[in-house]
Amino acid sequence: MRVTLYEREERLGGRLAGWPVRLDDGSRATMSRGFHAFFRQYYNLRGLLRRADPRLGMLTALPDYPLRHSSGRYESFARVPRTPPLNALGFVALSPSFGLRDLARMRPAAALPLLDVRVPEVYERLDRVSAWDFLARVRFPEAARHLAFTVFSRSFFADPRELSAAELALMFHIYFLGSAEGLLFDVVREPFPQALWEPLGRRLADLGAQLSCATPVESVEPAPGGGLRVTAGGVTRPYDAAVLALDTGGLRQVVAGSPRLGTSRWRAGVERLRTAPPFLVSRLWLDRPVARGRPGFLGTAGYGPLDNVSVLERWEGEAARWAARSGGSVVELHAYALDPGADREAEQDRLLAQLHRVYPETRGARILGSCHEWRADCPLFPVGGHAGRPTVRTPDPAVVLAGDLVRTDLPVALMERAATTGFLAANALLERWGVRGETLWTVPAQGRCGPLRAWAGLAAR
């Protein structure tokens, strides 16, 4: 296959892109779209990264996924057993968020769908309920609800009142009852461009692919004699097939600009796709270090808009070298699902004030450099939205979709959904030329504990 990759932006990476910045102290650094956790269940994404480095040397493990609530409660996943269902039971037993009285108040029958999450059936059962209402129905303890939202629902960048409960249940399946890798993850050893995109870009170029950055695709239309006519950067070229691996705004734009592509029903489904509310990633280069025991990543709840804090020099080489030279710290703050009309400066100040609450030693720190990224390009998975979401295959066999916005019947989410649908899209095209594609791996597409499945099945009758 001869492949051309068109990228709208100047650099590869999408939501994991990075670019050079110069700090006030004159040093150079790489800013990016923000911290990303590479969970161990990301089998297909890891398979893709192995093509650039078979030993996955670009990743390094963080020892825990700690969560802190402003009430003082602290959760950790490091000591939770790995084997399902002991992991879920062990978590409940070890977590301060599940008191005995809380457990007695819960409605286990309402929670049974979590014991046997099947894809795509989970969408039939739970897509019309919000994550918020589902947990309220289960009478999930208040403190644990915060925890569930912090870990799962907020990672979809959405307010739990808007997010489909099916996506929440799917996450529970992927990380608890469906796998033994738990909620532990790896991060990149160097900024995203150096760790991911330069090696993958080189690999593509070595294979003969043509990479055209800063070249937005404007339209993809069926050609009169078969195949496609793709217009990108003002130039139209013929192709046999295309993978549209775009974000929500990009896909809507390309489809709107290609009036003869697909059917009216399919086009309406694309047109209906929405993005989650804006989010803010603030990176601060501080003149002094945070306290020694601060983890590389901390999920937070009850600290106003703050969703998590990372201390980059704990795991990223570039930040570690800067911190060693300057004696400072590189800290990143994330705030998701913000009000679109929010005063940006005020919101950035509020986020900094929350850092001062979480890590009080930063109160007196001078900020030597700061970058604030406001974006709104993550897909929204609204209540009832699953049925209308486009799939990898489109009405035109020459055009397939990939990305975390795409519907698939495999239990995957976020970066792993993007990678998995990417392989599925390539496989769908290769099949037309009789070429075998990539074998894919996921956690099981149904609950993996027979007795729990049987119990959930009885309740579903």
Ligand X SMILES: Cc1cc2nc3c(=O)[nH]c(=O)nc-3n(C[C@H](O)[C@H](O)[C@H](O)COP(=O)(O)OP(=O)(O)OC[C@H]3O[C@@H](n4cnc5c(N)ncnc54)[C@H](O)[C@@H]3O)c2cc1C
Which stretch, 9-17, 132-140, 145-153, 392-400, contacts ligand X (CB under 6 A)?
Answer: 9-17
The residue among 202 and 288 lying less far from ligand X, judged by its C-beta, is 202
Whole-angstrom CA distances from 203 to 11, 31, 51, 199, 338 are: 16, 24, 8, 6, 38
Task: Confirm or reject binding of residue 385 to ligand X (CB under 6 A).
Answer: no
The residue among 108 and 441 lying less far from ligand X, judged by its C-beta, is 441
Task: Please give the structure tokens belonging to residue 276.
Answer: 């989650």
11-30 positions binding ligand X, by CB under 6 A? 14-16
Q: How far is the CB of 108 from ligand X (least distance, A)?
A: 30
- Binding residue for ligand X, selected from 220, 254, 261, 380, defined by CB under 6 A: 254
- Binding residue for ligand X, selected from 29, 31, 33, 243, defined by CB under 6 A: 33
- Binding residue for ligand X, selected from 144, 246, 319, 331, defined by CB under 6 A: 246
The residue among 45 and 286 lying less far from ligand X, judged by its C-beta, is 45
Sheet containing strand 185-188, strands side by side: 38-39, 185-188, 59-61
Among residues 52, 45, 129, the alpha carbon closest in space to that of 414 is found at: 45
Task: Confirm or reject binding of residue 189 to ligand X (CB under 6 A).
Answer: no
Q: How many CA atoms lie within 13 A of 114 on its CB side?
A: 22
- Binding residue for ligand X, selected from 415, 429, 443, 456, defined by CB under 6 A: 415
Task: Confirm or reject binding of residue 277 to ligand X (CB under 6 A).
Answer: no
The residue among 275 and 326 lying less far from ligand X, judged by its C-beta, is 275
Q: How far is the CB of 26 from ligand X (least distance, A)?
A: 28
Task: Give the H/E segment covering residue 279.
Answer: strand 279-286
Provide the 8-state DSSP code for 402: -
Q: How many CA atoms lie within 13 A of 392 on its CB side?
A: 17
The residue among 16 and 426 lying less far from ligand X, judged by its C-beta, is 16
Output the CA angle 182-174-380, nearest 5 degrees: 125
The residue among 248 and 326 lying less far from ligand X, judged by its C-beta, is 248
- Binding residue for ligand X, selected from 84, 220, 404, 452, defined by CB under 6 A: 404
Query: Which ranges of 207-343 would DSSP assign to H, the alpha helix?
Result: 248-256, 264-272, 317-326
Inter-residue contact 119 to 409 (CB < 8 Å)? yes
State yes or no: cis peptide before 120, omega within 30 of 0.
yes
Q: How far is the CB of 238 from ligand X (least distance, A)?
A: 18
Task: Please give the structure tokens belonging to residue 389.
Answer: 């979401």
With tokens 């019947």, the residue in question is 409
Beta bridge partners of residue 330, listed in sequence order: 285
Q: How far is the CB of 360 from ligand X (least distance, A)?
A: 25
The residue among 191 and 216 lying less far from ligand X, judged by its C-beta, is 216
Task: Confirm or reject binding of residue 127 to ligand X (CB under 6 A).
Answer: no
Query: Beta strand 38-39 with 297-301: parallel, antiparallel or unpaired?
Result: unpaired
Task: Confirm or reject binding of residue 372 to ligand X (CB under 6 A).
Answer: no
Which residues have CB under 8 Å from 204's CB, separation 6+? 3, 5, 211
Q: How far is the CB of 310 from ligand X (least distance, A)?
A: 10
Which stretch, 1-9, 50-58, 114-122, 452-460, contacts ligand X (CB under 6 A)?
Answer: 1-9
The residue among 81 and 249 lying less far from ligand X, judged by its C-beta, is 249
Q: How far is the CB of 167 from ligand X (least distance, A)?
A: 13
Rounded Cα distance between 270 and 256, Å, is 9
Question: x/- site string to ligand X, residues 199 to 238, per CB under 6 A?
Answer: -----------------xx---------------------
Q: How far is the CB of 366 from ligand X (least distance, A)?
A: 26
With tokens 């004159």, the residue in question is 26
Rounded Cα distance between 310 and 191, Å, is 14
Which residues have CB under 8 Å from 346's CB, separation 6+? none
Binding site for ligand X (CB under 6 A): 6-9, 14-16, 33-34, 36-37, 216-217, 245-247, 250, 253-254, 281, 334, 377-378, 403-404, 414-415, 418
